[in-house]
Amino acid sequence: MSQQDFVCRRKAAVDQIKARNGWIRMSEAMSAGISRRMLYTLRDDGVIESVSRGVYRLVGKGSLSQPDKATVALRAPGAVLCLTSALLFHEITTQIPSAVDIAVLSGTAIPRISYPPVRVYRLREPSFSAGVAKHIIDGVTVKIYDVEKTLCDCFKFRKHLGMDVVLEALKLYRERKSLKVSNLMKYARICRVEKIIRPYIEATL
């Protein structure tokens, strides 16, 4: 390859990464015609940095506000942030998760992510697809359950989280958010926790 060809391919590779908001996975690079060698060259030259295994980001994009969420969204684009991770995003918990909580559709493969650590929960339809919202975090589209769906999921997995965490989230939700009883009860029926959550909701009215 001539020097001119290399320069052209290098520029094309950087343009491809810029078009993805400065992020790219190894699999995306391969599909876009960017070789492993080119990625490693860009990394060694300080143009991109490795954020996680197989995930790269342009240097100079600024510090990451929530790198774990962005990285997991890239490594597992079909997953949805849930439970404590979603509570933290919605600012209705004082818990600091030791791992990123994600939901995957029951029957699908569990994402292989060595870092950051993740906790995987399997959900069936229609629960898995209900209440999914998309947010841009550090230039990456991240799927997160909306606040009412998150609360219902917490009641469903209350034995894993601890009832104190669930009740704290409900208390902070009442204090900080607009109480949307119809949404809560809709998701409660989908998650099959209507009988469990109803007394707590009625106590707030």
Measure CA of the first residue to CA of the last residue in the chain; give whole Å: 72
Residue 145 sits in the same domain as residue 45: no
| pLDDT reading at 205 higher than 80 | no
Q: Regarding beta strands 80-81 and 100-105, do their DSSP bridges make them parallel or antiparallel, or are they unpaired?
A: antiparallel
What range defines the domain where residue 17 resides? 3-58
The rounded distance, in Å, linking the Cα atoms of 88 and 92 is 6
Q: Do 52 and 77 belong to one domain?
A: no
Q: Do 45 and 71 lie in a common domain? A: no
46 shares its domain with 118: no
Number of domains in the chain: 2
Tokens representing 203? 């106590």
Residues 6+ apart with CB under 8 A from 41: 10
In this structure, what CATH number is given to the domain that contains residue 16?
A: 1.10.10
Both 31 and 74 in one domain: the answer is no
- Examine the domain organization and report whether 159 and 196 are in the same domain: yes
**Do 127 and 52 reside in the same domain of the chain?**
no
Please, what is the average pLDDT of the chain? 88
Whole-prediction pTM: 0.77
Are 94 and 181 within one domain? yes
pLDDT above 80 for 95:
yes
> Where does a domain end: 58, 77, 103?
58
Whole-angstrom distance, CA of residue 201 vs CA of residue 74: 36
CA atoms within 13 A on the CB side of 191: 28
Q: Is the pLDDT of residue 179 over 90?
A: no
pLDDT in tens, 118-161: 999 999 999 999 999 999 888 888 999 999 999 999 999 999 99
